[in-house]
């Protein structure tokens, strides 16, 4: 039961991040050369990994969710500090807040799924 709850929260985080990136892509990112396509990759990857987390009870989707969350948060931190492919953010919008929350959820709730690999291998 707890594992299903963890999987549901991780999937919700992945889908939430995908949605945020889609909304931001529609708002302004579609007009940027590198970041625009990367936002679309994030949208597709979030949906695919969410489906995998729910459907495949193996440690690989959980690892992918952790990697997704860390990579996306890392790119965002770069955009806040040094800039990321010409994009500099300031953490002023609701989309940025929800992005951080959903991506942190991907990492925090997928890590316990990785801890006990025996019960996730099927």
Q: What integer pLDDT is reported at residue 31 of this predicted model?
A: 85
Give the rounded distance of the alpha carbon of 31 from its chain centre.
Answer: 22
Max distance between CA atoms of the chain, in angstroms, equals: 45
Q: What integer pLDDT is reported at residue 119 of this predicted model?
A: 47
Averaged over 42-53, what is the pLDDT?
A: 97
Can you give the pTM of this predicted structure? 0.87
Q: What integer pLDDT is reported at residue 22 of this predicted model?
A: 95
Cβ(65)–Cβ(71) below 8 Å: no
Averaged over 26-45, what is the pLDDT?
A: 87
Q: On the CB side of 49, how many CA atoms lie within 13 Å of its CA?
A: 31
**Which span out of 24-28, 45-49, 71-75, 110-114 was modeled with the highest average pLDDT?**
45-49
- Rounded to a whole number of angstroms, the distance between the first and last alpha carbons of the chain is 16
Print burial letters for 56-87: b (CB count within 10 Å at least 16), e (below 16): ebebebbbbbbebbeebbebbeebeeeebeeb
Averaged over 40-67, what is the pLDDT?
A: 96
Averaged over 1-27, what is the pLDDT?
A: 93
Residues in the chain: 122
Residue 26: how many other CB atoms lie within 10 Å: 10
Nearest to 11 by CA among 74, 31, 19: 19
pLDDT confidence tier of residue 30, bands split at 50, 70 and 90: confident
Averaged over 5-29, what is the pLDDT?
A: 93
Q: On the CB side of 19, how many CA atoms lie within 13 Å of its CA?
A: 13
């Amino acid at each position: 039961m707890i594992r299903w709850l963890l999987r549901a929260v991780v999937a919700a985080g992945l889908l939430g991040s995908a949605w945020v990136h889609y909304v931001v892509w529609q708002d302004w990112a579609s007009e940027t050369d590198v970041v625009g396509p990367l936002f679309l990759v994030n949208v597709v990857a979030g949906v695919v990994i969410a489906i995998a987390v729910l459907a495949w009870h193996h440690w690989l989707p959980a690892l992918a969710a952790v990697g997704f969350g860390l990579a996306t948060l890392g790119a965002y931190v770069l955009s806040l500090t040094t800039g990321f492919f010409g994009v500099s953010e300031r953490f002023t919008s609701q989309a940025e807040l929800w992005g951080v929350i959903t991506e942190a959820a991907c990492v925090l709730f997928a890590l316990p799924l990785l801890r006990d690999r025996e019960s996730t291998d099927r």
